[in-house]
Amino acid sequence: MNNILKQERFNETSACLQAILYMKLTLFLMCIGLLSASAGAYSQNKVSVNHRNTSLAHFLQDIEKKSKVRFVYSDDILTQNIQITVRAADADVSEVLKEALTGKGLEISKVNPNLYAIYKPDKRPSSAGTQEREVIGRVINAKGEGIPKVTFWFVGTRIGGATNEEGYFRIVFPENAKEIEFRYVGFVTKKIVLGDGNLGNVVLHSEDNTLEEVVVNTGLFERKAGTFTGSTVTFNQQQIKEVSNQNVLSALAILDPSFQMLANNELGSNPNAIPEIQLRGQTGFSEDLRTEYSNAANQPLFVVDGFESTIQRVFDLNINFIKSVTILKDGAAKAMWGAKAGNGVIVIETLRPQVGQMRISYNASANIQAPDLSSYHLTNSMQKVQAELLSGIYTGQSPDDQTRLNKAYGQNLKAVLDGVDTYWLSQPLQNGVGQRHTLVFDGGEENFQYSVNLGYNNNKGVMKGSDRNTYSGQSVLVYRKGKISATNNLSVDRNFAANSPYGAFSDYARMNPYWRIYDDNGNLIPAYYLFGTSELVGNPLYNGSLNSKDGSNYTSITQNFQLDYRHNNNLRFNARIGYNQQNTASEFFRSARHTQYLNISTTSDQYLNRGEYRISNGFQKGYTIDLSAAYNRIIGKHEFYFNGILTANEQVSELSGMTMVGFPNDDLNSIGMGREYAPGSKAIGTENTVRTAALTTALNYAYDNRYLVDLSFRKNGASQFGRNTKWGDFWSFGLGWNIHQEDMFKRLGWMNLMRITANTGITGTPPGNNAYQSLATYTYILDRTYNGDMGLDLMALANPDLKWQKVRDNNVRFELGLFNRLNGSFEYYIRNTNNLLLSMDIAPSLGFTNYAENIGDVRNKGFQATLNYGLIKNATKRFNINIFGNLAHNTNVINKISSSLQLLNDRNDAIYDGEPNTLQQRPVRRYEVGRSMDAIWAVKSLGIDPANGQEIFLKRDGSITYEWDAADQVVLGENRPQYNGTFGANVQYKDFSANFAFTYRWGGQMYNSTLVRVVDDADYAYNVDVRALEDRWKQPGDLVSFKGITNRFSTSTKPTSRFVQDLNEMIFSSISMSYNFSRLAWVQRTPIKTLMLSCNLNDLAHLSTVRVERGLEYPFARTMSFSLSASF
């Protein structure tokens, strides 16, 4: 035991030491490069000056005479009587300028080593009534993002300036000016002929031909959006934060309807619950099958800065670190990721340093979560006693029983009359107030840039004691020397997750309202006798007062290094090395004083084993090496883009743990103080090593920017598959036509975009967590020997022909843009999954317990439509209103299943037929050819018989019966909406902006297990829904929906059509408001460059056609956040 604990501490210490070593080595290498680069640059522009109270004009002229440096500036700067005093010998021009102009109200921008711009920060327009003309506009890149510090001047003059942090500029220009020129490091210089002064958006393109107009980041390489045939969508940080600043996953669920974050009615808004994600439906079986494969069966691949990542890291990723997120949906978009891309790919790009003086950005948020209990409708104390009377709980089987029950009734009624009406639901809850802080430093010159990002996020849940704390650090260093550039990205994350010591929320929903919480002395009442019996019901609040543990933590280190060699403008080579490591630990402890053990007799064998302590420790590490080449060539109207990538990867994971029992006191909270291992268990440990290799090629061709072709191929190998199928082939082929580039449409000024694309491709889905699923695996028999030799048991049967699970995507997409206001798209897809892979549990009588096999085929098909319209677009007044909406539809059908799945169906049927008193309050999934994976199976009901309160069932042969039979189950609905999407609007007026979004779902069904659990099968020993009192059958002739009130031991309700209800929902998902104070005069007099205050509200309202209790184990919450952002 001590060795395990020491190992955990050693792993954490080792992880921290490795992080420090990585940082030291990286800084050392980069500093060497920086010194060598700086020496070459500085030697060309060093000057000796001696000025005392010299005019600015004379000072600048002197610098130009003594060096190769030239300046651009606005004439009004020279009329301000600025005096310069500076003395320097053989000093760099940059340092001389910085010393001379500090405190003069001016800023310096280095355009290139020999050109500097001097300007006033955020120069204000001239006063009203002036006859001078102004130039107004914004400089953006190909992605539509504002570019700060872009230098501009009027051709033939020295008058100019620079854009602000958001890319905006506004300046008076002389009468003889005809052109304005824009320059920025790494972008093509652009000249524009002056007109009426309103330039709108000025787009600068990258100097690199392969990156010009790039808007699609696939994680492995980038493509021009205008010539790419794949289906993708990209969101920048601002768009993400407009809908949610909690985590990127919840934001994507609002922004794109194909990205589904499945609602978990059990875990609600638990801050430590990692959501289940699906993109365009299911490709594998759900987690209901309870295998190690199923947890990630439908989860998309996450890629952060070009390397694969985990959903846990993305869930905890600080939104302020993110630059953009791209969703790759179809075959052409994701095929380059091959065997892991079948469920879609989420590509996340974090912030990169920018050239310029060091900038400091700070963001602080206060996050408030308020519990949402609007779905609960429980009885009060008087209603509860009435329900108990009607249910017959107070009717005894003998005189002694009746005497006891009469006494219990009298005590409960007295509590009601004394005014006891405890609202248990509010007792374990709080308004969770958390905080988030982000600090970013970045800057640098042409040859060297740096950024350091620090973050802390405290997410307080609405149940007392539950929270999630994440500490994040990231450093990015970029060094360029000639044709070579090197980038190092180091991320370190530390997370602590704590679950509430107050237990499951459902424990409070079942507590009777006439039970007091405290006794007359103000002490917590630990337990209550149930209707005069010796059976005790624990007070869940009492558990919160005990010394307990329930939490986890992890330390994650990600080190990525990239070396890029640009042979010329057409050919470049790239090498990437990535290393990731994560140490995890979890701990759970409760003592014998916990209310779970109240009813264990002192004579029971379990009495000494009361109390439990569980620990687990995990370790993961992985290496990735990529070698790639990129070639592009433009020959006349022909454009070629080619990429070749060779990848090798290894992932190693280890997990160990144990469970001890027998902890008589909650102060004995060390695992070594336990009595013994939990019966039937021992210390466990597992190990998995997975190795993969891949060769990827991709070709993009465009003719005259009109006709488009995409081809990609990936050869994947993985150690998890059988020796006969180690390698898999994955490919895609796409065609496209930019209709708007045809001559006849170019002449139409109102048509901005009309494109049609079609593609097909084959990708794969991850084969699961079992590294040895295709091999025969054995375990030693440890409890006996044969002649001193130890035997082996076969655990899993080998399957050398285990095939890759493959997904065939077919997609057609149409895009349209009109009048610079209207943008829309429509796409239709068919998605076939073949050779569904699953690890099946098998009866031990067969000689082994596990077997991996390909068990079936599934088809998903659907469509998605988006529409955006600029209702008002006025750049001069800075007034914009944009409305948006989207719609998605998806259905799935099982085309083939194996005999193993049919056996699973039979086993589930036996659960119902063989155990009539077991509470099976929701349908179990069934899998049949021609049916949906989300089908709801139940027996048709004709309702409640008014004569006796029993349910009448309709058999498949058309006869009626009171007996439920699993063989009569039919499909009565689908547990997924037919349609879902969002709609809303964005409003911007000057420095104020607002955004609101609604999410809708309709056309699906739901099995309302709430009605079964708290109405039809209500246990009247505990609190129930008010419908259990008001809407049930009570006497002959009642026309009601729920069967007669019976006692707690009655036969349970099996899946029936009475509880299959049409589900339509509308959710007020988000509203955000922000104000930018940067333009205010008092802000401009300070060192602050940008200052913004914002407010976000999420999950404000939830309207549904189905009344169901939401958040059974952990309640749902409404979220409010206030943020302050500033940069210096």
**Model pLDDT for residues 131-147, shown as the tens digit of each residue:** 456 677 788 877 667 78
Which of the four pLDDT bands, split at 50, 70 and 90, describes residue 939? very high
Statement: residue 933 has pLDDT above 90: no
Neighbours of 795 (CB within 10 A): 13
Task: Give 619-663 pLDDT, tens digit per residue.
Answer: 999 999 999 999 999 998 999 999 999 999 999 999 999 999 999
Overall average pLDDT of the 486-498 stretch: 96
Could you give phi then psi for residue 575, rounded to 5 degrees?
-130, 130
Statement: residue 435 has pLDDT above 80: yes
The span from the first CA to the last CA of the chain, in angstroms, equals: 52
Task: Copy the structure tokens of residue 586.
Answer: 């979890």
Which of the four pLDDT bands, split at 50, 70 and 90, describes residue 207? low
Question: Residue 908's pLDDT is what?
Answer: 67
Domain ranges of the chain: 45-112+114-203, 376-424
Question: Residue 25's pLDDT is what?
Answer: 43
- With a pLDDT cut of 70, the percent of the chain lying above it is 87
Lowest pLDDT segment from 316-330, 835-849, 963-977:
835-849
Question: Residue 131's pLDDT is what?
Answer: 44
DSSP state of 67: S
**Ranked by mean pLDDT, which of 266-275, 622-631, 1031-1040 comes out on top?**
622-631
Sign of the Cα torsion 279, 281, 286, 292 reads negative
| Residues near 1100 by beta carbon (within 8 Å), at least 6 away in sequence | 1068, 1071, 1118
Statement: residue 432 has pLDDT above 80: yes
Lowest pLDDT segment from 21-25, 336-340, 940-944, 1025-1029:
21-25
Question: Residue 1090's pLDDT is what?
Answer: 87
Task: Give 1070-1123 pLDDT, tens digit per residue.
Answer: 999 999 998 888 888 888 888 999 999 999 899 999 988 888 899 999 999 999
Question: Residue 1081's pLDDT is what?
Answer: 85
Task: Give 223-255 pLDDT, tens digit per residue.
Answer: 888 899 999 999 999 999 999 888 899 999 999
Question: Residue 919's pLDDT is what?
Answer: 44
Statement: residue 160 has pLDDT above 90: no
Question: Residue 867's pLDDT is what?
Answer: 96
Neighbours of 292 (CB within 10 A): 14
Question: Residue 133's pLDDT is what?
Answer: 63
Overall average pLDDT of the 756-776 stretch: 83
Alpha helices (H) in 856-999, listed in sequence order: 899-914
Query: Which run of H or E residues covers position 982?
Result: strand 979-989
Lowest pLDDT segment from 179-188, 315-324, 774-783:
774-783
Overall average pLDDT of the 986-998 stretch: 93
Overall average pLDDT of the 489-498 stretch: 96
**Contacts of range 675-681, beta carbons closer than 8 Å, 24 or more positions apart:** 675/608, 675/609, 676/609, 678/609, 678/612, 679/609
Statement: residue 211 has pLDDT above 60: no
Question: Residue 10's pLDDT is what?
Answer: 38
User: Can you tell me which residue has the tokens 């009027």?
Assistant: 154
- With a pLDDT cut of 90, the percent of the chain lying above it is 50
Question: Residue 293's pLDDT is what?
Answer: 36
Mean pLDDT, the chain, whole residue set: 85
Question: Residue 197's pLDDT is what?
Answer: 58
User: Can you tell me which residue has the tokens 């990827």?
Assistant: 696
Lowest pLDDT segment from 274-288, 341-355, 468-482:
274-288
**Ranked by mean pLDDT, which of 17-26, 307-316, 767-776 comes out on top?**
307-316
Which of the four pLDDT bands, split at 50, 70 and 90, describes residue 1051? low
Statement: residue 871 has pLDDT above 70: yes
Question: Residue 233's pLDDT is what?
Answer: 93
Overall average pLDDT of the 376-386 stretch: 94
Q: Helices 381-391 & 399-417, crossing angle to 10 degrees? A: 160
**Helix or strand or coil: residue 677?**
strand
Statement: residue 730 has pLDDT above 90: yes
Angstrom distance (rounded) from CA 1128 to CA 1087 = 6
Question: Residue 240's pLDDT is what?
Answer: 93
Statement: residue 110 has pLDDT above 50: yes
Based on the number of CB atoms within 10 Å of its own CB, is 387 exposed (0-12), middle (13-18) or buried (19 or more)? buried
Task: Copy the structure tokens of residue 925.
Answer: 């999934």
Which of the four pLDDT bands, split at 50, 70 and 90, describes residue 941? very high
**Ranked by mean pLDDT, which of 50-64, 650-664, 899-913 comes out on top?**
650-664
Overall average pLDDT of the 520-546 stretch: 91
| CA-closest candidate to residue 348, choices 252, 271, 256, 274 | 252
- ∠ at Cα 702 (698, 705), nearest 5°? 145
DSSP state of 429: B
Amino acid residing at 980: N
Which of the four pLDDT bands, split at 50, 70 and 90, describes residue 195? low
Could you give phi then psi for residue 840, rounded to 5 degrees?
-100, 135
Which of the four pLDDT bands, split at 50, 70 and 90, describes residue 745? confident
Question: Residue 326's pLDDT is what?
Answer: 95
Number of H-type helices and E-type strands within the chain: 17, 55
Angstrom distance (rounded) from CA 462 to CA 1110 = 14
Statement: residue 794 has pLDDT above 80: no
Overall average pLDDT of the 283-300 stretch: 58
Question: Residue 1048's pLDDT is what?
Answer: 43
Q: Which residues of 524-537 are buried (b: 16+ CB within 10 A; e: fewer)?
A: eebebebbbeeeeb
Which of the four pLDDT bands, split at 50, 70 and 90, describes residue 461? very high
Angstrom distance (rounded) from CA 1055 to CA 968 = 11
Lowest pLDDT segment from 36-45, 256-265, 299-308, 722-731:
36-45
Angstrom distance (rounded) from CA 686 to CA 618 = 9
Q: Is CATH 2.60.40.10 correct for 45-112+114-203?
A: yes
**For residue 939, how far is the Cα from the chain centroid?**
38
Query: Which run of H or E residues covers position 136?
Result: strand 133-140
